[in-house]
């Protein structure tokens, strides 16, 4: 139990800027086993972002609440995944060989493709969330059920962050890491693929999401998996596998797929 706790806190340290207890040891052995806790860590990010959304939504407006939700998630993770997505946009947009792509990806500067990609992904998230049936204080006065509203949107936000962080486990399990592991902060994970047990634990972690939203929304897992595998094959075609930035790009795009799937299901089937 103590070892699992260490692994969990290492996952939190790796993916977020949340402070962990002082007794936590940061060791390669623990970091290597963190992927199974990526979805749980994502759901923790989702909880913090949801609280921010609900407070601002209650006292200000739904639009600003969405902005608060997005900013909270970015601050909590230190824009970890957004940075990876932007680097992938720059690298694959401006590079035509494996060496050039990897060189651009390692460059800390942000280029035109990266800026354009970030604007597109953030705007898309905002518009998709804005189109969802958000809980509002006015629904109480109109006879709506506030508890039901809270549960649904909470489930959506937890699922967006938790399930999108489950998807990179498929890439970790099936494809090769291609960047120089000696220069990577994820070197321990690059040296060993996570077993199927990690994926099973991740799947069990996200089960509560569909208790909150309804099981009809579980089909959204399918397009998320397909997008993950197609992106991974694309990365393999060009650079022979994946990098940490590629995993960040997968997280960002599958988060968007999740919002889109929830929206389409709610609009046409609920």
Lowest mean pLDDT among 112-121, 161-170, 182-191: 182-191
The predicted pLDDT at position 132 comes to 87
Q: How far apart are CA 172 and CA 38, in angstroms?
A: 12
Query: HSE (CB half, 13 Å, CA atoms) of 152?
Result: 19
Rounded to whole angstroms, the Cα distance separating 25 from 21 reads: 9
What is d(CA 27, CA 177) in angstroms, rounded to the nearest whole number? 20
pLDDT of residue 247: 97
pLDDT digits (tens, 9 = 90+) for 63-73: 999 999 999 99
Average pLDDT over residues 170-186: 78
- Tell me the β-bridge partners of 177: 242
Residue 43: predicted pLDDT = 97
- In this prediction, residues 189-217 reach a mean pLDDT of 87
Distance of CA 256 to the CA centre of its chain: 9
Give me the pLDDT at residue 27, please.
82
In this prediction, residues 154-170 reach a mean pLDDT of 96
pLDDT of amino acid 139? 47
Summarize pLDDT for 138-161 with one digit per residue, the tens. 544 444 554 566 788 999 999 999
Rg (C-alpha) for the chain, rounded Å, is 19
Contact partners, residue 47, CB within 8 Å, separation at least 6? 158
Residue 242's DSSP bridge partners are 177
pLDDT of residue 55: 94
Average pLDDT over residues 212-231: 96
**Digit-coded pLDDT (tens) for 83-114:** 999 999 999 999 999 999 999 999 989 999 99
> Among positive and negative, which fits the CA dihedral 22, 25, 26, 30?
negative
């Amino acid at each position: 139990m103590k070892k699992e706790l260490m692994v969990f806190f290492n996952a939190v340290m790796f993916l977020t800027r949340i402070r962990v207890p002082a007794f936590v040891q940061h060791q390669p052995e623990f970091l290597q086993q963190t992927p199974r806790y990526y979805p749980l860590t994502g759901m923790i990010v989702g909880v913090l972002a949801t609280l921010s959304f609900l407070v601002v939504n209650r006292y200000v407006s739904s639009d600003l609440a969405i902005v608060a939700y997005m900013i909270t998630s970015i601050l909590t993770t230190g824009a970890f995944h957004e940075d990876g997505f932007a680097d992938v946009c720059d690298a694959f947009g401006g590079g035509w060989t494996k060496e050039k792509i990897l060189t651009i990806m390692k460059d800390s500067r942000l280029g035109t493709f990266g800026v354009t990609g970030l604007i597109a992904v953030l705007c898309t998230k905002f518009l998709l969330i804005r189109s969802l049936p958000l809980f509002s204080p006015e629904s109480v006065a109109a006879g709506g059920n506030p508890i039901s509203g809270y549960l649904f949107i909470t489930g959506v936000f937890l699922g967006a962050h938790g399930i999108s962080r489950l998807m990179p486990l498929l890439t970790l399990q099936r494809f090769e890491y291609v960047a120089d592991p000696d220069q990577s902060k994820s070197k321990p994970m690059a040296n060993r693929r996570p077993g199927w047990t990690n994926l099973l634990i991740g799947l069990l972690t996200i089960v509560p999401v569909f208790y909150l939203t309804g099981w009809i929304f579980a089909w959204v897992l399918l397009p998320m998996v397909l997008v993950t595998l197609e992106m991974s094959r694309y990365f393999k075609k060009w650079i022979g596998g994946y990098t940490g930035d590629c995993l960040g790009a997968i997280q960002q795009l599958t988060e968007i797929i999740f919002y889109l799937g929830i929206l389409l299901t709610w609009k046409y089937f609920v």
